[in-house]
Amino acid sequence: MYLHNIFTRTHSLCKCHFVRKISAQITERKFDNRKYQYDLLVIGGGSGGLACAKETALLGRKVAVLDYVDPSARGTTWGLGGTCVNVGCIPKKLYHQAALLGKAIKDSKSYGWNFDESKIIHDWGTLKDAILGHVRSLNWGHRVQLKQKNVDYFNAKGSFITRNEVEILHKTGKKENFSAENIVIAVGGRPKYPDIPGALEYGITSDDVFSLEKPPGKTLVVGGSYVALECAGFLTGLGFDTTVMVRSICLRGFDQQMATLIANHMANDGTKFLHGCIPLKIEKAADLLTVKWESKDKQLHEDTFNTVLFAIGREAYTKNLGLEKIGVEFHPDSRKIVGQNEQTSVPNIYAIGDVLLGKPELTPVAIKAGRLLSHRLFGGSTQEMDYENVATTVFTPLEYGCVGLSEEEAIHRFGDNQIEVYHAFYKPLEFSLPQKDASQCYIKAIVSKTNKKIVGLHFLGPSAGEVIQGYSTALRCGFTLEHLQQTVGIHPTCAEEIVKLNITKASGLDPTVTGC
Ligand code: FAD
Ligand code: NA7
């Protein structure tokens, strides 16, 4: 009856205004006798936290989001939006683009552009300021969106007092307590430092590299992670003498044939690699950093660098959240939260994004999980997050996009003789005039022999992210080898080489594509 009255009173309004008004009235009514200040409190205003908070507000609930950035060891700090916006995907992709443009300038000579190459210089300060300017506009955009959607935002650090109460520490040092019926932990992670002398004092991480006041100069990147390779790739591309120190393998967790091709391409592109090495010590004299390290054969080595960047993985930022106090279960080493369907071991507390154990650490994953959780909590939905077949791209100088299983994982899951690998080495047409080396441009599709379904697709080449995105939909729809081979390509593109795959690894035939 109450709803009916509201409907009849507001019949002349447009539909969306109408729905908003109704939900506001319902919410107001609910708030009158609410037990807690908020229906939902989100700790962490990054990709996942913001998405979950905004979606919940759209569903008419009272929401608050807390976001606070502890300065990095070098004192770097940033605005609202979390890792992706400030010190991850966004600045990374823009630095990558800057490096690609540098190469395109050189390539353009073979397309008839005429200029004096010795006059081409790159200005780090101009690029850094432009990127930080863009990032600040995104920070502002997030604040505006929260305001427009009626989400209460606090630039403050949260920690648990009880399962329904969070202490808020404002920047000014002021403390207050908020209560909420449901709490989402979306605090993400921060880069790790190795426990060696000088690392914390002199080293930087991805938290600092994008906003360095001075150009990084000769740089040592420690780690074989995707963050390490991406940073080394763009630093090399911008003209810095760059070395990557890899302890064991590159890109653990990714397809290892693709990882090797990526590292080979980077080495040909000018990045130096120290394989099987671990850093022991960093010392500083004048403005130079002397790094001592040990190689696999136990030999000691040293060299000097202007910058040492550690990209040795990330740890969940849960140390000061008070999880122990309220009984939220977490992994003892990574401090990541253990959860099933984003539900932690405490019924009204949830976790999304990078902080969740065993899930892909990617922005769209955090966003989707946050939105779906909101709809399950407040929208009557039962839809769960599906973490399978999430496509991703490594933005190394030659980009790598993939979806589904690596060859190693496929063999592990189905057995060596239960999969067929279709592959091809191809030459992007754009590489022809500058006569660029295409020996790492490679594609492979991993097919289950049982049902002919494609269980993994890997593409190494220009614009890999753009090429591979649609295939994650295809894999979700039960994509088979037959579907692939029936597809007509777009000519002349690199992507068409995927639908032309017809040579299996097992055949031993040369997989190099010749002609159209
Ligand atoms: P975050 O975005 O990390 O947000 C967590 C927020 O919570 C932060 O602002 C943090 O300061 C805040 N916080 C922490 N503790 C508290 C507290 N107690 N109180 C209040 N606030 C707190 N992903 C991609 O999809 N594509 C890419 O190309 C890509 N590139 C990347 C490149 C780099 C260099 C890095 C480091 C990451 C990259 N990622 C990429 C990963 C992506 O950034 C993360 O997966 C994503 O940001 C995770 O979102 P989140 O919401 O879980 O956490
Ligand atoms: P990862 O994948 O955890 O990679 C960490 C890298 O750093 C890896 O190459 C490690 O080598 C190396 N590492 C770790 N500790 C050290 C020390 N102490 N010294 C030298 N090298 C070290 O980190 P990312 O953040 O890139 O990736 C996170 C996730 O995103 C990952 O799950 C991917 O699937 C995607 P190791 O291989 O252990 O020898």
> Which tens digits make up the pLDDT trace of 68-102?
999 999 999 999 999 999 999 999 999 999 999 99
Provide the Cα torsion 106, 112, 116, 121; round to 10°: -30
Of how many residues is the chain composed? 516
User: How far lies 66's CA from each of 22, 141, 146, 163, 168, in Å?
Assistant: 27, 16, 11, 16, 8
Write the CB contacts of 84 (distance below 8 Å, at least 6 apart in sequence): 46, 47, 90, 363
> Which tens digits make up the pLDDT trace of 382-391?
999 999 999 9
The protein residue whose alpha carbon is closest to atom 22 in ligand 1 is: 44
pLDDT value of position 33: 53
Structure token digits, residue 18? 């109408």
CA of 402 to the centre of ligand 1 (A): 21
The protein residue whose alpha carbon is closest to atom 37 in ligand 1 is: 88
The answer to whether 265 is a known catalytic residue is no
Of 396, 401, 407, 384, give the one whose Cα is nearest residue 470.
401
pLDDT at 24 over 70: no
The H-or-E segment that residue 162 falls in is: strand 156-162
> Which tens digits make up the pLDDT trace of 454-466?
999 999 999 999 9
**Closest-lying ligand to the alpha carbon of 275?**
2
Residues with CB under 6 A from ligand 1: 43-49, 66-69, 82-84, 88-89, 92, 157-158, 186-188, 206, 227, 317, 321, 353-355, 361-364, 366
Write the CB contacts of 337 (distance below 8 Å, at least 6 apart in sequence): 185, 316, 318, 323, 328, 329, 330, 331, 344, 351, 355, 356, 357
> Which tens digits make up the pLDDT trace of 246-299?
999 999 999 999 999 999 999 999 999 999 999 999 999 999 999 999 999 999
Q: List, in order of start, the domains of the chain with CATH numbers.
A: 34-191+313-388 (3.50.50.60), 199-312 (3.50.50.60), 398-499 (3.30.390.30)
CA distance 212 to 214: 5
The more confident residue out of 54 and 12 is 54
Bridge partners (DSSP) of residue 291 are 282, 303
> Which tens digits make up the pLDDT trace of 350-373?
999 999 999 999 999 999 999 999
> Which tens digits make up the pLDDT trace of 168-226?
999 889 999 999 999 999 999 999 999 999 999 999 999 999 999 999 999 999 999 99
Write the CB contacts of 283 (distance below 8 Å, at least 6 apart in sequence): 197, 198, 289, 290, 292
The protein residue whose alpha carbon is closest to atom 25 in ligand 2 is: 313
For a mutational test of ligand 2's pocket, the pick from 220, 225, 262, i.e. the residue with the most ligand atoms closer than 8 A to its C-beta, is 225
Place of tokens 């930022």: 317
* Angle (CA) 370 376 381, round 5°: 125
**Closest-lying ligand to the alpha carbon of 315?**
2
